[in-house]
Structure 1
Amino acid sequence: MLHCILYELFRDQVPTRISTWCTKAATTFRASQDRGEGDSTGGPIPERRGHDKWPTLVIEAGVSESLAQLHLDMQWWFAASNHDVKIVLLAKLDSSQRMITLDKWVEEPLSVGPGAAITATGQSAALRPILQQTITIHRNEETSPISYDVTRGALVLEFGLLFLRSPGSGEGDIIISVSDLQWYAECVWG
């Protein structure tokens, strides 16, 4: 539930006229001798990128898995995919604190100033993961009915990173609202 509902909230907001999104679910991806399997993944349809291309969105969820292990998973996705993965969402459930933490990671050039190394494709030669957004959802059991307090607003997933193109008319970033995140938490705690 920790990753499925979050992915469904995203997928439900992809306009139906955009037929270029492919859900890859928990497909195993390989890099040399290493392999990884995201809990929920997806990206532009394979015909646009090649049959076995990496997803652009990966969601990793952890209940018993530590946040440190989730961070290692996030780093693996960016490095193993040769930076084809563009957004990694980490969803961590801490039952003792009655809290879900959502971390959105993207990559940025290591050096953005004058003289930064640029590859033939126009990208910086060195990228590093950055934590772009952290959202916490607290389960408030002192209210009746139980409520869910969301800090730091809506989750924003950039269209260009997801679809590898600029948005067209009527297209834009995917925004998972505070009320959607409250519903998500309610589903997770069931």
Structure 2
Amino acid sequence: MSETTIQSLSDLIEIHGEKKIQQLLATFKSRNEDVESFLTDKRKAITFDKYNISRVYLLLETDAAITKLRGYISLSFKSVYIEENTVISNRKKGRLGVSPDEDSFIALLIAQYGKNQNEIHECDPKQLLGYAIDLSIETQKKIGGLTTILLECEKSNDKLNLYYEKLGFQRLQFSNKLSQYYIFINKGTEPIRGYSESH
């Protein structure tokens, strides 16, 4: 019987060595060139994780002695500036961690995530988001202070914008060519978290 786990890239490199893990990362394929290159280009995922720019987690499926890479998640912190044309109440600013006289807050950003399209049975992107939410909550419990999870996507990608809204993310604002979506860590994440528990 196969077992699915989410493991940090840094832990895997410490246990198995960078060369072996790089071979595993090379099996990742995506129709999105940026999503694929982040993991397969040694200068990106491994370097980002090594220098604490972001934390990378791999979704692995192990069956006997065979380990398959199903997908990955990259998390980082981001300072979010409230644009001048963004209308937001002081109450919501407080929940985001912004005081009324400030224009920024720190969020936990789901920087990258992707499924391995090299696998016959691809994982559900909702499953990856479920794990990302779980990891965000664990981070919040360890360091405190964080209230918000952030996602970004191209403003012009109507399909992806609608997808995030259907999952319960709220649009914060448009920043340059990006839509910024948020969800509060301690409220509203349960439906998304359920995807990681049910697969």
Q: Shared fold (TM-score greater than 0.5)?
A: no
Q: Which has the higher helix share?
A: 2
Query: Shorter chain as normaliser: what TM range?
Result: under 0.3
With normalisation by structure 1, the TM-score equals: 0.27
